[in-house]
Chains A and B, each alone.
Chain A
Amino acid sequence: MDNKTPKQPLKTVFSNNIFIIGKVWRLMPSYIILTVCEGIMWGIINSAESLVFYTIFNALDAGEPFSRLAALIGMISLFYLVTGALDKLYWVILNPVIKQTLHYRMHRELFQRAQSLDLACYDDPQFYNDFVFAMDEADSRAIKVVDEVGKLINRFVASGTLFTLLFTIDPLVAALILLVSALSTVVWLWGNKLTFKAQEERKPLDRKSSYINRTFHLADYAKEIRTSRAGELLTAEYSETVEKRISVERKYAWKFFAVNTLVNGMGRVLQLATLLLMFFKLIAGTVQLGGFAAAVNTIWRVRWFFFDICQRIARFPEHALYIEKYRKFLCTEPTIKPGETPVPDTFESLELRHVSFAYPAGADGEPKETLHDVSLTIRRGDKIALVGYNGAGKTTLIKLIMRLYDPTAGQILYNGIDIRTLDLDDYRRKIGTVFQDFKLFAASIAENVLCEAYTDDREADVRRALDAADFTGKLDSLEEGFHTHLTREFRKDGTNLSGGESQKIAIARVFARPYDVIIMDEPSAALDPLAEYALNHNILDRCADSTVIFISHRLSTTRMAGHIYMLADGRITEEGSHEALMARGGKYAEMFNTQAKNYIREVQPA
């Protein structure tokens, strides 16, 4: 979250909280209805306790017959039995299911939303933070707000009845409690503001301290801490953080003391006044024993209810803050809109025409153009390569082709049709990609290869793909074959694959279905030289008829491509076959020679 918590107008606080309640109402109306009922029921229970007290003592005082009292107590027992059973029915049996179902329904909506989100949203840290927050907090915030409302209903009912009771016993005491509650609320609000301010000041310090704590127990840092003097550095930083935290506390010490003493002192004065007042009335006989006992017993509860209402209302702005993020997320419209035209059946060509692209401006200002006026054409069966230094724009280009982003200028054409007019899901599924940073899912091998639910009629596809990716050897060693569950994320018998094996699964994906275009984004990054060598040859053999785009900064991989595009600073600076580019003696040749230098020197004489 941000270091500073922003201020928001009352209207936003109100509308956001109403929004979330409306959301819950639509997704799970039973939750709202039950919450209201529960609040009212508890309001009645809470006031009943004092009323019982009052009635019994008046009866005692008046010397009523025991049988009447016994009957009263019997009725109360029955009341407790019924309300107790209702309470458990709700909280133990119904409420957990309601909460989980709400979680499911809210997340289903969020996930569908997230799925249609532009990839660009993930690059915008501010948006991304809010997005993660929306995901993390959505249902728990909704539950908090609804439960809070239930509690408020309860407090209002209870304090209302009890206050009326007090008023009938003695209006002066009732007036006194109103006055004291109002005064202490003012003081409390001031204290609340102070607490908030102190928290804000402490937040970065708390984060730092928990970070340092983490570094000591995470295995990631263990080696560095043992071999360098980082431990001393961390300890010194930690001590400094502690001192700073203490000085923040010091700054507010006397203020908190004042708040505390004032609120407490007012409470004591109220207690003293009530006791003395009721005592003298009791002696004078203007109040009965029941009234005396009920007043003394109730005054604390009313005060507590009032106080609790303030505290709960004060929490709504915080809720609103989180809901705002959730709301904003739900309202975000993807800029990459699917087109209508169905994708043609046979692939002929893919053309980039004067394509430029800039990532949206980050927090630090100017958007930087990543691609500038790039034009290239790929025909069916072509093998092309995109090469260049880190950050030249190779991966960006791929993301544009996959329509994860739209170009800022220029067009991308599929069989001559602008891809923006094509059906988005259909189009994306025409392109098979092995990402540099591929991810495996906690699912079976088959599902990881197909990237969708496995059905028996897909067996041949899975086998063929795993074979093409050279995974068969490993597959035979697995007891459950391609039904083996990957990762131990939530299954203890799951299998963890090594980096190289995982990569083979990722590669198998592009062989599981026929694709128009296959993109290999540095697929050999995790492999050692011999495995890389084998992989490159394998891919080329398997993809004899397919259209393939290779991306790499290792020129040994890309040399096999028929046509090579050299990218530098977002432009295509050179293109042609390996031989042509070498003959030209430009940047490509320089890069190739640098990489080859030591090899050539040693091997050529041999």
Chain B
Amino acid sequence: MALFRRKQPDAAQEKKKKLPLRQVWQNNLFALRLIWRAAPLYFIFYFLSTILYAIVDFLSGAFLLRLIVNNVQSGSPPAQIAAYIVGIVGANLLINILSSYMWNVKLVGDYHRIEASIRQMMFDQAQRVELACYERPEFYDKYVRAMDGANDHVRQVMYTLDGLIWRVTGLIGNSILIFTIDPVFIAFAAIPLLLGFLRKKNNKNKHDCDTDLKPYNRRKSYIRRTFYLADYAKEMRQTGMYLRLLEDLRENLDEFKRIHRKYSLRRAVYELIMKLGTQVVTVLGATLYATFRALVSGSMLLGDCLVVISSIGDISNALDDFVVKLAEFHEHALYLEDMRTFLSHEPAIAENPDGDMPKGGTIELKNVTFRYEGADTDALTDVSLTVRPGERIALVGHNGSGKTTLVKLLLHLYEPTAGDITLDGRDWRDFNLTGWRRQFSTVFQDYRSFSFTVAQNVLLRPTADPDADRALVEQSLRESGAWEKVETLDHGIDTVLTREFDDKGAVLSGGESQKISLARVFAEPERPFVLLDEPSSALDPIAEHRMFENMMRATAGRSVVFISHRLSSATTADRIYMMEKGRVIETGTHAELMAQNGKYADMFRKQAENYVGA
């Protein structure tokens, strides 16, 4: 339930949708089919064991009691009853042993297999959907991030169905028994159902209360974070901010009390009435009626009396639970609907399986315009750019001028709004998408280290030939300048990075991890293009200089497109594209642009001023 709510962050979405019955049915079936496919035996036995249990439970419970008492009262031969007792308890034991064997031994891996098959399906789709899906907040919150709970939600369907089967089997047995004794008791058992409207009211009350409490909880956790995150520690010590936050915390508690007061009394009353409905009206009412029939009208056997009194509460609870369980299917369906929408999402940038594998050449952008979804202005306007084999291209300009967007476009992570992109004159859509992307070695500005070994981080692929790969990794790390550091790590290139799941993992500084991600470029010499988005931002000047020279030497023969704030590194480029507000405003070599005396020259001089003396 908690998970379910989390996926609807906005007030607008807070209102529960209603799904048509057909869809509820289909979505739940979809989940069951997933489990069935991953582990059929598990699936069958799951429900089979429940039915068996429910039957034995019924037989050894109320049914057995009635049999004993009534037979004693009517004076049947004891041996027969004793045999029956032994038989039922024995059957119960056998089923127990069988299912214990099945769950603990025979089907032991299936639980994980089901999870693996659901996750794998999600992983595959997560890789297929276009990058924009991650940037579209509604899509992301609702579908992508919610995938986290996919496994649980699929399983929930099975649990609910299982509970339903358990309830129905028990109900059928008990109801028939009670019905044969006196149909009036069924009416007693059904009384709590009449209070269904109260449950609805109570649920709404709870839901409203939770909604109102959301800001309270968010604020609470925020304040806590500011106190324990190292990021804030310096500011908190140096300033009086912490006093304000403590005050905030107290006000927040008052806010909680206010909201709680608004809802709690009503909730207490609803719940009390519902509880008394079952406890007093059904159980005690039926008891009164049964004793009346046994004592006053004398028309009831004691065994029947016993059965009624001991099982009427169960029947009533079962009926009630039955209704709740049915409603759960609707909730599952809502969640599964999101999951199915995600799974059936056709990527806007789809794989082209019949496309040719590109092998490098001249990439050309012709009058490319691009606008992010939901943005008011174009991120790129009418950009034309050419990258020939072996060229060094520099993209320069202010923050937000569109440099990084251009890099992402080259990788075909987005589709341009207008304009063409070609490789040796052929439209890029003619090529295989994965193949297109794998022409590029890329270091992003916001590069990520994975929580794997250094070697895996450099290769970023499963290894085929361990020895050759180790040599390649070492070579690449040397080129990127990370080797000195990696050498000092406990397990060298086999050291796991970050402590995400390994407490002995190495935590590297920004500059060091940047060098490791740079090594990726050298580990893929077969890729004809290199894209570098501020590869040296975390490095000091000397390290930057060394890295840059290495880079140029080691990538000889490959085309390099790089972005840098520091114009000093652009001076050796074959061509510089100066960008401003999504447009290319100046193009040429450093000398040409300086001679042009435009914005580039202005920017360059300002940066140089302090080095040279104005």
Contact = CB atoms under 8 A, between A and B. Distances in A.
B238 interface: yes
16 contacts: A89-B268, A92-B268, A93-B265, A210-B501, A215-B450, A225-B127, A228-B520, A231-B127, A242-B115, A260-B104, A439-B232, A451-B238, A528-B399, A530-B603, A553-B541, A594-B542
Interface string B493-512: 00000011111000001010
Contacts of A2: 503
Interface residues of A, number: 159
Please name the 10 residue pairs, one residue from A and one from B, whose CB atoms are nearest each other, closest first. Answer: A596-B611, A451-B239, A599-B608, A556-B610, A598-B568, A452-B240, A207-B501, A246-B109, A229-B461, A92-B268
A73 B287 contact: yes
A326 B572 CA distance: 58
A300 to B, nearest CB: 10
Interface stretch (B19-27, B162-170, B242-250, B375-383): B242-250
B288 A599 contact: no
A533 B227 CA distance: 35
A108 interface: yes
B590 interface: yes
Interface in B482-533: 499-503, 509, 511, 520
Given A70-B288, A236-B462, A289-B69, A57 B100 contact: no
Interface in A546-601: 553-557, 559-560, 591-592, 594-601
A283 B78 contact: yes
B5 to A, nearest CB: 17
Interface stretch (B86-94, B191-199, B330-338, B420-428): B86-94
B345 interface: no
A60 B295 contact: yes
Contact of B541 (A56, A250, A594): A594
Interface stretch (B214-222, B362-370, B471-479, B553-561): B214-222
Which of A64, A215, A602 lies at the interface centre, i.e. has the most chain B CB atoms within 10 A of its CB? Answer: A602
Given A60-B305, A441-B226, A447-B244, A268 B89 contact: yes
B271 A390 contact: no
A236 B568 CA distance: 43
A73 B227 contact: no
Contacts of B503: 2-3
A439 B239 contact: no
A597 B249 CA distance: 54
A115 B236 contact: yes
Contacts of A84: 272, 275-276, 279
Nearest to B287: A73
A222 interface: yes
B94 to A, nearest CB: 10
A2 B244 CA distance: 34
B409 interface: no
Contacts of B502: 204
Given A66-B292, A108-B246, A530 B606 contact: yes
Given A390-B539, A429-B238, A452 B230 contact: no
Contacts of A232: 461-462
A131 B310 contact: no
B260 interface: yes
A275 B65 CA distance: 9
Contacts of A253: 104-105, 108
B239 A60 contact: no
Contacts of A282: 68-69, 72
B244 A452 contact: yes
Contacts of B603: 529-530
B329 interface: no
B444 A224 contact: yes
A135 B227 contact: yes
A602 B437 CA distance: 36
B112 A249 contact: yes
Interface stretch (A95-103, A168-176, A409-417, A469-477): A95-103
Contacts of A598: 567-569, 571-572
B90 to A, nearest CB: 8
Interface string A198-213: 0000001001101101
A390 B514 CA distance: 14
B interface, over-half SS: helix
Given A293-B310, A529-B603, A602-B594, A261 B123 contact: no
Nearest to A78: B280
Contacts of A560: 610
Given A257-B101, A402-B238, A452-B241, A226 B131 contact: yes
B569 to A, nearest CB: 7
A606 interface: yes
A356 B289 CA distance: 89
B470 interface: no
Interface in B101-140: 101, 104-105, 108-109, 111-113, 115-116, 119-120, 122-123, 126-127, 131, 134-135, 140
A53 B309 contact: yes
A441 B605 CA distance: 37
B411 A211 contact: no
A208 B85 CA distance: 51
A56 B306 CA distance: 10
Interface in A39-94: 53, 56-57, 59-61, 63-66, 69-70, 73, 76-77, 80-81, 84-85, 88-89, 92-93
A22 B128 CA distance: 56
Given A92-B264, A452-B244, A600-B612, A606 B594 contact: yes
B451 interface: yes
A92 B222 contact: no
B238 A431 contact: yes
Contacts of A70: 288, 291
B296 A80 contact: no
A433 interface: yes
Contacts of A260: 96, 100, 104
Interface string B198-232: 00000000000000000100111010101110111
A108 B249 contact: yes
Given A216-B122, A238-B120, A272-B85, 6 more contacts: A112-B246, A219-B135, A227-B411, A279-B81, A597-B568, A598-B572
A364 to B, nearest CB: 8
Interface in A438-452: 438-439, 441-443, 447, 451-452
B108 A250 contact: yes
Nearest to A300: B61
A529 B106 CA distance: 66
B460 interface: yes
B284 A224 contact: no
A418 to B, nearest CB: 19
B520 to A, nearest CB: 7
B126 A216 contact: yes
Given A257-B101, A451-B241, A111 B607 contact: no
Interface stretch (B28-36, B141-149, B176-184): B141-149
B43 interface: no
A439 B568 contact: no
A66 B296 contact: yes
A63 B230 contact: no
B69 A256 contact: no
Interface string B267-303: 1110110011001100010011001101110000010
Contacts of B292: 66
B456 interface: yes
Given A77-B284, A389-B540, A529-B566, A603 B608 contact: yes
Given A92-B271, A528-B399, A132 B119 contact: no
B568 A595 contact: yes
B541 A264 contact: no
A242 to B, nearest CB: 4
Contacts of B147: 216-217
Contacts of A210: 501
A213 B147 CA distance: 9
B465 interface: no
A122 interface: yes
